Amino acid sequence: MIEKQVVVIGAGISGLKTASELYAKGCKSCVVLEARDRIGGRLYTAPGYNNNKYDLGASWHHDTLVNGLFLEEVGLPKEERAAFVFDDDAMIVFDKERGRVDQDPEMALEVLMEELLKFNQLQYFEDLDVKDVNYFETIVKYLYERRDLLTDEQIQYLPQVARFMESWHGIDWKTQSSKCLEIAHQGRNAFVLNYDTIVKRVGSAIPQEWIKMETEVSEIDSEGKKVVVTTKTGEKYACDYVVVTIPQSILAHSLKPEPRKGRIEFNPPLASGIQDAFKKTHYGSLGKVVFEFKDCCWSRKRSRVLSLGSSTPDITAKVRDADDLASLVEKLNLDTQYNFKNGESWDFPLFFVNLAKHTDIPSLILLMADPLTAYIESLPDKEKLYEYFEPILTKVLQALDCTEPIVKDFDDKSTSDGISSPVLKNIMTTKWTLDEYALGAYSACEPGDDPMDLILSLTNNQTSKIRFAGEHTIMDGAGCVYGAWGSGKREAAFIADKLGNFGSHSKTL
Ligand SMILES: Cc1cc2nc3c(=O)[nH]c(=O)nc-3n(C[C@H](O)[C@H](O)[C@H](O)COP(=O)(O)OP(=O)(O)OC[C@H]3O[C@@H](n4cnc5c(N)ncnc54)[C@H](O)[C@@H]3O)c2cc1C
């Protein structure tokens, strides 16, 4: 039995922050147990073609007016912090058939989008008992109720533009709760170059001997005076406090009997409040695909491009002729079934970041939501990925003023010097849905969910000795890096306070 004051489970940003704060506060006896062979968790910077690197986990500092991690970063000397750029410039939006639909004075889709979000918000503000429905239904309701005030083109394109929200929540419009749809941005978004700098900085503020990699925890026993944490290989740690930072998706498996990677057996089992709260929360799967080109032969004027899913051709007539909302929802639902298994790439909204604008790197990063993410992440190789995305990629490049056909050169054989075509050298994709220690991207809300329940039940805790941190345990910055980071800070402060700020106590261990 190894004795420690604190055991931290997981070396993602929340676990790293917990341990670094504990160390800064004087803790002498702590261990961080991490299942993977690297730190960072869902912060993962991967190498690509030509020594470029990409964040396959988080990319942005969100809410930069209130984001504690961002504010800490900007207070550091430039050479110690991760570079970043504000990239919220106006987005190019295009449809397969029609071409660009953004900033069209006749359609005014940007203004309509704002009105739709307000419409959604008002329906829940006005009456607390209004049933939570999926976002798709709210969009149809808006079209139905406002149809006499909308043009045919607005009815046709607004629904697909509205699906941009999928790339925030990581789940599709038919799964997303309308009640939890709104994102109240607290300041601009800053694109980070890259998050590995932050992971290294926070990780290096912890004594390296505290961090035990490839050490999966399988059991937490809190029946005795000390909490006993057991690893998969049978090592046992007795501690005063344990901070559990494993993702919500993995923690959910503690409620099920089946053994699986990452699952922790709690003895006694997780409290009933926590168990109930899990019924009202879900998990999304934002995914990314990086397209790396040899050179940039497209416009660098805009950094954001949204490719719309195909709109239903006769949607306008159906909306105008509908006798009631319920039958319209049913009809349009049937019209908008997904067909991705047959390689139909136009059923989903795809959000592209044009890296060349801010970084000179000739790459496009695509963001997608579930269920497309799970499908794409399961494709076996670059050829299949290319086959799926080629039609859209061609259109995205056209939207960025590049009309030359793409030359695929994964083997790096093409003597492409001097040609003006975009030469595609590599495609990378995330694998979070297949990753045993992530099982997706971050917490998300389906109709009827209430994320507060899980946050409150986890922060009220199993016992005061079993603490929880991570993106799913905090309201300010929920789902975000800075939320996870803030939850680590919170738990370290709690423990330091309880242990008398590590005065004489630490010396006795
Ligand atoms: C594709 C994608 C894009 C995103 N984009 C953004 C963005 O732009 N901005 C933003 O703010 N956020 C974004 N996020 C969310 C952000 O990455 C997460 O909120 C944050 O990194 C979560 O940190 P965490 O410490 O809570 O969890 P994690 O980073 O998941 O850390 C938990 C750790 O626990 C370990 N673990 C699991 N089980 C065990 C076990 N049994 N024993 C020991 N260790 C275990 C895991 O290996 C992991 O290292 C994105 C996430 C994804 C996946």
Residue 457, pLDDT > 80, answer: yes
CB 11 within 8 A of CB 39: yes
pLDDT at 343: 66
Residues 32-75 pLDDT 10s: 999 999 999 999 999 999 999 999 999 999 999 999 999 999 99
pLDDT at 507: 38
**Ligand 1 centre and the CA of 224: distance in Å?**
31
**DSSP E strands, 139-295:** 190-193, 211-212, 217-221, 227-231, 236-244, 265-267, 282-284, 287-293
Ligand 1 site-directed mutation target among 36, 86, 246, 473, most atoms within 8 Å of CB: 246
Residue 504, pLDDT > 50, answer: no
**Ligand 1 centre and the CA of 175: distance in Å?**
22
pLDDT at 417: 65
Task: Provide the residue type at 242 as one letter.
Answer: V
Residue 463, pLDDT > 60, answer: yes
Ligand 1 binding pocket includes 196 (Cβ within 6 Å): no
CB 495 within 8 A of CB 506: no
Angle CA 295–297–302, to nearest 5: 110
Ligand 1 binding pocket includes 35 (Cβ within 6 Å): yes
92-183+285-429 sits in which CATH class? alpha beta
**Ligand 1 centre and the CA of 247: distance in Å?**
6
**Ligand 1 centre and the CA of 166: distance in Å?**
19
* Domain 2-54+80-85+192-280+446-508 falls under CATH 3.50.50.60: yes
Strand order, beta sheet including 304-307: 99-100, 92-95, 304-307, 350-354, 363-368, 287-293, 423-429, 407-408
pLDDT at 313: 79
Residues 412-428 pLDDT 10s: 887 666 678 999 999 99
d(CA 306, CA 308): 6
Beta-ladder partners of 46: 54
Nearest ligand 1 atom to alpha carbon 480? 11
Task: Provide the residue type at 301 as one letter.
Answer: K
Residues 304-328 pLDDT 10s: 999 999 988 799 999 999 999 999 9
d(CA 92, CA 250): 37
Ligand 1 binding pocket includes 59 (Cβ within 6 Å): yes
**Ligand 1 centre and the CA of 13: distance in Å?**
7
pLDDT at 152: 96
Beta-ladder partners of 83: 193
**Ligand 1 centre and the CA of 480: distance in Å?**
9
Ligand 1 binding pocket includes 373 (Cβ within 6 Å): no
Average pLDDT over residues 88-92: 93
CB 64 within 8 A of CB 187: yes
Q: Which of 165-179, 189-203, 403-417, 424-438 has the lowest mean pLDDT?
A: 403-417
pLDDT at 367: 98
Ligand 1 site-directed mutation target among 458, 481, 482, 485, most atoms within 8 Å of CB: 481
- pLDDT band of residue 505 (cuts 50, 70, 90) is very low
* Residue from 253, 245, 91, 248 nearest 161 by CA: 91
* Residue from 7, 9, 2 nearest 36 by CA: 9
* Residue from 346, 344, 340 nearest 370 by CA: 340
Mean pLDDT over the full length of the chain: 94
Ligand 1 binding pocket includes 34 (Cβ within 6 Å): yes
d(CA 250, CA 32): 17
Nearest CA residue ID for atom 34, ligand 1: 10
**DSSP E strands, 369-503:** 407-408, 423-429, 442-444, 466-468
DSSP 416: -
- pLDDT band of residue 338 (cuts 50, 70, 90) is confident
Nearest CA residue ID for atom 13, ligand 1: 58
Residues 114-170 pLDDT 10s: 999 999 999 998 788 899 999 999 999 999 999 999 999 999 999 999 999 999 999
pLDDT at 419: 73
Grouping H, G, I as helix, E, B as strand and the rest as coil, residue 149 is: helix
Grouping H, G, I as helix, E, B as strand and the rest as coil, residue 39 is: coil
Structure tokens at 22: 């504990």
Ligand 1 binding pocket includes 393 (Cβ within 6 Å): no
Ligand 1 binding pocket includes 14 (Cβ within 6 Å): yes
Nearest ligand 1 atom to alpha carbon 38? 49
Per domain, the residue ranges of the chain are: 2-54+80-85+192-280+446-508, 92-183+285-429
